[in-house]
Amino acid sequence: MELENITHVTVKGRDIYLLGTAHVSEQSVEDVKVAAQEFEPDTICIELCPSRYEVLVRQDAWQKMDIYRVVKENKALFLLAQLGLSAFYRKIGQKLGVKPGAEMLEGAVQAEKLGATLVLADRDVNITLKRIWASLSFFSKFRFLTHLLLSMMFQGNIEKEDIEKLKSKDQLQMVMDEFSRSFPQVGRTLVDERDQYLAHKIATSPGQKVLAVVGAAHVPGITRYLGQEIDQAALEEMPGKPVWPSLVKWGIPLIIVSLLILGFLTQGTEHSVQSLYIWVLVNGLFSALGVTLALAHPLTILSAFVAAPITSLNPTMAAGWIAGLVQAWVKKPIVADLENLPRALTSFKGFWLNPICRILLVVVLANLGSSLGTFVAGTWIVTRVF
């Protein structure tokens, strides 16, 4: 069987075969089998990091997720992003009857059969997501999240022929280029940096003959970087936190408190009390409204209302954390909810009604509502004082 998606590169006398695949494709799975049998490599590299590989090989991975820890460590937004990234491929897989990442798992199977070394060559997905997030501006973050959430609701008709066409380097690269034009920073982190990382891991893998199973869009970049000196540590660095968010978080409470004091000194106690009412009611109502949109428990809605005016003045806390923990307490997820999580992501209704997704939505929407409430209430108080 002839393989059309193989790129052969010689690096320092070693043979490296790059097999470009579509991530949800029966034909790609077959291509991996044929390539492994034909080349009999010493090493097989696959485009997975250890955490993504574990999710694919362990059917109970979702069941072991600690939702309380996710909320407490402020990882709800990143977990939602990971779910959004995986939902698109999962939906295609359901339509075509192919498990997402099946061709990567086939690479692992072939490595075991041949006695070859298996290398998980991709960068950790959490590092990639955090580097993407840090590269975006404030408004771009909202646009990016919208794109991810819409991908969860994808309902287009996709045929097998359409998926196989994705293995054409030109077409898939064109899709990536279009995405990079909308979010240039994302394109650099999601594609360019990972091209370098994959190239480094492949080039430094053991053996004289290496087969690398990667998405077709990465093949041109990997080919370009193979043989070059690449600083892996720099690509794994977690982004430093910018100063301005801390200035905003501490500056807004100081401004609000200063305005309340100024209103008291210039216009009396009644004026200051009214401004305080505005702060509490507006902040609380906006946060409670956000939680209500997530169809949260009444106690969760109440907790968001009470917490938002307080946490908005305390940068070490967030209304979403409190509301999320309350929702997790009053509606504690059961094993069945965790087991159903992958299926829940395939429809808008399933996503919105799954208790795990609801907790994540509560955290995000409570914080978003509190932020909007802070802006509205703060602007209102400023106009009253001046």
The DSSP code sequence of 147-194 is HHHHHHT------HHHHHHTTSHHHHHHHHHHHHHH-HHHHIIIIIHH
The three-state (H, E, C) secondary structure of 345-357, written as one string? CCCHHHHHHCHHH
Cα–Cα dist 258/347, whole Å:
47
pLDDT of the residue at 169: 43
Q: Which of 203-217, 257-271, 333-347 has the highest mean pLDDT?
A: 203-217
Tokens read off for 19: 């097999």
Mean pLDDT for the stretch of residues 37-51: 93
Are the C-beta atoms of 260 and 275 separated by less than 8 Å?
Answer: yes
Greater confidence (109 vs 134) lies with: 109
Buried b / exposed e along 240-278 (16+ C-beta atoms within 10 A): eeeeeeeeeeeebeeebeebbebbbeeeeeebbeebbeb
pLDDT of the residue at 82: 62
Greater confidence (311 vs 246) lies with: 311
Q: How confident is the model at residue 237 (pLDDT cuts 50, 70, 90)?
A: confident
pLDDT of the residue at 118: 96
pLDDT digits (tens, 9 = 90+) for 275-319: 899 999 999 999 999 999 988 999 999 999 999 999 988 877 888
Q: Which amino acid is at 319?
A: A
What is the DSSP secondary structure assignment for residue 60, as one 8-state letter? Answer: T
Is the torsion defined by CA of 142, 144, 148, 154 positive or negative?
positive
Of 377, 359, 221, 356, the C-alpha closest to 294 is: 359
Q: How confident is the model at residue 88 (pLDDT cuts 50, 70, 90)?
A: low
What lies within 8 Å, CB to CB, of 126 at 6+ separation is 51, 78
* 182-185 LR contacts (CB < 8 Å, sep 24+): 182/143, 182/147, 183/136, 183/140, 183/143, 183/144, 185/132, 185/135, 185/136, 185/140
At residue 271, does pLDDT exceed 60? Answer: yes
Domain ranges within the chain, ordered by starting residue: 6-235, 243-385
What is the DSSP secondary structure assignment for residue 23, as one 8-state letter? Answer: S
Cα–Cα dist 135/117, whole Å:
35
Q: Which residues pair with 213 in a beta bridge?
A: 19, 46
Q: How confident is the model at residue 160 (pLDDT cuts 50, 70, 90)?
A: low
Greater confidence (245 vs 7) lies with: 7
Are the C-beta atoms of 320 and 366 separated by less than 8 Å?
Answer: yes
pLDDT of the residue at 174: 45
Q: What is the pTM of this model?
A: 0.68
pLDDT digits (tens, 9 = 90+) for 251-265: 888 888 888 888 878
Of the given ranges (303-312, 339-348, 367-376), which has the lowest mean pLDDT?
A: 339-348
Measured between its terminal Cα atoms, the distance across the chain in Å is: 79
- CA–centroid distance for 327 within its chain: 22
Tokens 């965790």, residue?
A: 338
